Amino acid sequence: MKKWKPSIIIENSIKQNGRVTADVIEKTYDIKEHQMIRFMAEEFQRRIEVEVAMEKKQLILLMDEIRELQDVERKEQSNLVFKFRSLINILLSDCAKLQQRSLIWNDAANKVNEILDVPLLQCEPMTIEETHTFRMHPIYSEVYEIYLAYEELSPVLTETFRAFIQSLLKSPTLYEVWVLLKIIHYFSEWGLDAHEFVVDIQKKYKDSKSISGYKKQFRMENRPFDIGIYYDFTFDGSGYRPDFVIGFFEKENKQWSLHTLDAKYKCYSEMTKGEQTLLNDLKHSGTRYLNDLFGGELKVKSATLIHTDIKSLNWNVKEKQVNTENNQHTIAHFHFTPSESKNLQIYLKRLLHENSGLDHCCPKCGQFVEGTIQNTKEFQNKISRKILYNCSVCEEVWVANFCSSCSYHGRNMKLFYYNGYPKYLARQLYKYPTHNYNIQVGESWDVHCPNCYKTFDHKINYIVKHTVKNEPMIIRSF
């Protein structure tokens, strides 16, 4: 013994066997505060990895869009080339910000890794809890306060919402709900109040332990339209229950444009009878809903499938079994996955302009845009025109043009009053610098007419025509 304490002396006197029990002080770093600090550092590490992965994915999407715009810019001869250059500069600026953030994330990751290599933290992580050391020791309390501040950056989940998430992770409808959340995310860029949706979902789940049957009309401030959403809602007239019904209420005309979207967690191209399965799903969730969803005179304007097969895409299904009346852009299907995510934005843009007639609304921010009417042409009782839109808020550009061949032959016309006289207006042919749903002509800023398949210069691609009419599964740019 190096040090005799009173308790040891007393014990030795009582036992007198030459052996005593004594506390031995051993120096160790493996204390619970160090275990919890390691947990904090590993949490920081995981968060950095998630953020870096998300921003890398976003950077790739932006770079792809820049390349598309540059291809269009090189071939465009009109003054729109300056609009494209402006869009490219905005995207380049966004890319530069992401690249700068990647340097910051890299520096943060290196610092966290250095912390994890410190000898004090060579222990097993332990879940965070408040301790006397964290409260009273100046250095440990500072570390603890930093972690509490980090936690406050994340939204606090209520018990109801936490239970909803836990049930969702085990649910067979996980893909559907993920699609719903992404729809809300994209609509929030148009002005929808996402917080209002979260409050609704919590109340719905608290009341019924499910969010099936959710419906809501979102009042959109400073937008020409409101948005309606039904999720897994059973309609009385038909008894049908599509996964989603998305509606746009045009405030000026007080009219709804309604569209269905059914989610299928399927990879058709890998199935033995994938094309027939796709056709059956399109008839079940497309033709059926178009004809009789509401069981009355009210009709939906488009019906679409969203699925996980990245090899299958068709924005304008013409197959006779499915689209019996050969209508344009009424039935479609597209893929949407975490790694292939642009198509949902294209779909919502298509609903806004092509299917709901709100082509004066920006597909990026939802704001009203005053179009510039160009090339108005009158021939007998027909009229055609081109409208150029340029959003002053986000610099987005799009054109509502027309197919001169269809206009000349009187195909796909609609009644239109011009200067007080009834005329037949050529159907609008929409095109965008990137992410077109009409089949793009190579790398040019031109699209094939979905009705006659011709291009701006009246050329017809018979491969496109044959494929569109006979191939329901895969339609890409030609």
Q: What does the domain layout of the chain look like in residue ranges?
A: 32-152, 159-355, 372-470
**280 Cβ partners below 8 Å, 6+ apart?**
none
In whole angstroms, give the CA distance from residue 434 to residue 71: 10
For 332-396, the DSSP string reads EEEE--SSS-HHHHHHHHHIIIIIT--TTB-TTT--B---EEEEEEEETTEEEEEEEEE-TTT--
Q: What is the mean pLDDT of each run of 10 residues along the chain (478 residues)?
A: 63 65 68 92 93 90 88 76 85 93 94 92 91 91 91 69 64 85 94 92 85 93 95 88 95 94 92 89 91 81 94 88 86 91 94 93 94 82 86 91 82 77 83 88 77 72 55 46
- pLDDT given at position 389: 94
In whole angstroms, give the CA distance from residue 370 to residue 375: 16
Structure tokens at 170: 């085990």
Residue type, 45: Q
How many CA atoms lie within 13 Å of 247's alpha carbon, on the beta-carbon side?
Answer: 22
Structure tokens at 173: 């409808």
pTM of the model: 0.79
Structure tokens at 364: 């990026």
- pLDDT given at position 366: 94
- pLDDT given at position 36: 93
User: Are 454 and 441 in contact, with CB atoms under 8 Å apart?
Assistant: no
How many CA atoms lie within 13 Å of 313's alpha carbon, on the beta-carbon side?
Answer: 19
Q: Residue 62's closest CA among 23, 105, 93?
A: 93
Q: Residue 23's closest CA among 10, 9, 5?
A: 5
Structure tokens at 49: 């990895």
Look at residue 314 and give its three-state secondary structure: strand
- pLDDT given at position 236: 84
User: Are 459 and 466 in contact, with CB atoms under 8 Å apart?
Assistant: no
